[in-house]
Amino acid sequence: MDRRTGPLEGVKVIEVASLAPAPFGCMVLADLGADVLRIDRPDRSGRQQLPPVDPLCRSRRSIRLDLKNPAAVDILLRLVAESDVLVEAFRPGVAERLGFGPEVCAEWNPRLVYARMTGWGQDGPLAATAGHDIDYIAVSGTLEPIGREGERPVPPLNLIGDFGGGGMLLVIGVLAALLERERSGLGQAIDVAMVDGSAMLASFLYGLRAAGGWQDGRGTNVLDGGAPFYDTYTTADGRHMAVGALEPKFYAELLAGLGLDEAGLPAQYDRSGWPELRARFTEAFAGRTQAQWVTAFAGSDACVAPVVSPADAPAHPHNAARETFIDVGGVVQPAPAPRFGRTPAGPPSPPVRPGSSTRAVLAGLGLTPAQITALQDRGAVS
């Protein structure tokens, strides 16, 4: 892998392999220029592996260590001694039992930022139990408001718990700890919990509730699909348009684009009139294709946009102009973000096969070929 460039150039990260939120966070760190070394598990299947294609694994080196083997843990601690960040996503107490918990790592490197990514957090009655995104956002109060009135809550993919409340919060925690280390000279452990992060993402909702601007019951409020001017509509060709005309001046442009006379309609924020508005909007949007509506609202401030699929998003004119999507190793995927004017990040590199950097990394620690072979024979590395 080529040398990483970007604002985090020179920052060394150890990622103990896991799924979804931690890899996403480490992908962001790698995109920003960090040198991320992934610790993958040994492959005992004996099967030929296909080249990985997951964007979450891009821009990494990889070494295979059996962390149940004390000799492998010793290698990990030697890597910790010369790294800035370690990211692990085990259940609470597992890293300690394996021999590389925060206290042990701090003895090897007092400047280490030790980031722990879990769903429930390091403590609390659910901390030792299994869970997934949907469970964490259910308990945090974030899932209940999502869905149509009178229907069940709708899982919003796994974006809120895994990626927003998990991986992105991990990145924020790591960056904050690295910044604080510049003052104190010391690292620290970070408890990143998806239940905490997903709750934090809904902070605005608690403010609206306190101010009387949000009523309990999904699908009945301005931003949850209850308002006809903040919703999606089906077009003549079975596609959809998204409408977000909250402000009166934008709402006026929406009505003009739809060919509707405001004088003959209920007031925008008169909830009793929302069913009529929705019916009129539904009828209007059904009269043209998505492409025709895109043309009709081109250059408008009506806050109307086509609902584009992941397959079509890279070709959308705005995305194409900004190069929001890029090709990495033959896989089209989102480009690194945000963008930096003075220290731009280089292009991501494709995911590597697990363990492809094992010998090079061990040699970098000063191990001889004979010592590396001995570790392989003991099953510590592969």
Domains and CATH numbers, the chain: 12-201+325-377 (3.40.50.10540), 230-234+240-306 (3.30.1540.10)
- Percent of the chain residues past pLDDT 70, beyond the cut: 97
| pLDDT for the residue numbered 249 | 97
Tokens (6 digits) for 226? 């209850």
Asked if residue 332 has pLDDT above 90, the reply is yes
Per residue in 190-200, pLDDT (tens digit) is 999 999 999 99
Per residue in 48-85, pLDDT (tens digit) is 566 689 999 999 999 999 999 999 999 999 999 999 99
Task: Show which residues are catalytic.
Answer: 132, 162
Per residue in 316-329, pLDDT (tens digit) is 999 999 999 999 99
Tokens (6 digits) for 41? 């598990």
Alpha-carbon distance of 83 to 36, in angstroms, equals 10
Interval 343-354 mean pLDDT: 94
Phi first, then psi, for residue 215 (nearest 5°) are -110, 140
Interval 19-26 mean pLDDT: 97
Asked if residue 19 has pLDDT above 90, the reply is yes
Tokens (6 digits) for 284? 């209007």
Q: Which of 34-38, 47-51, 127-131 has the lowest mean pLDDT?
A: 47-51
| pLDDT for the residue numbered 46 | 58
Q: Are strands 240-244 and 230-234 parallel, antiparallel or unpaired?
A: antiparallel
Strands (DSSP E) found in 246-310: 304-306
Give 382's pLDDT tier (boundaries 50, 70, 90). confident
| pLDDT for the residue numbered 365 | 95
Interval 89-94 mean pLDDT: 98
Per residue in 280-310, pLDDT (tens digit) is 999 999 999 999 999 999 999 999 999 999 9
- Percent of the chain residues past pLDDT 90, beyond the cut: 95
Q: What is the pTM of this model?
A: 0.95
Interval 167-196 mean pLDDT: 98
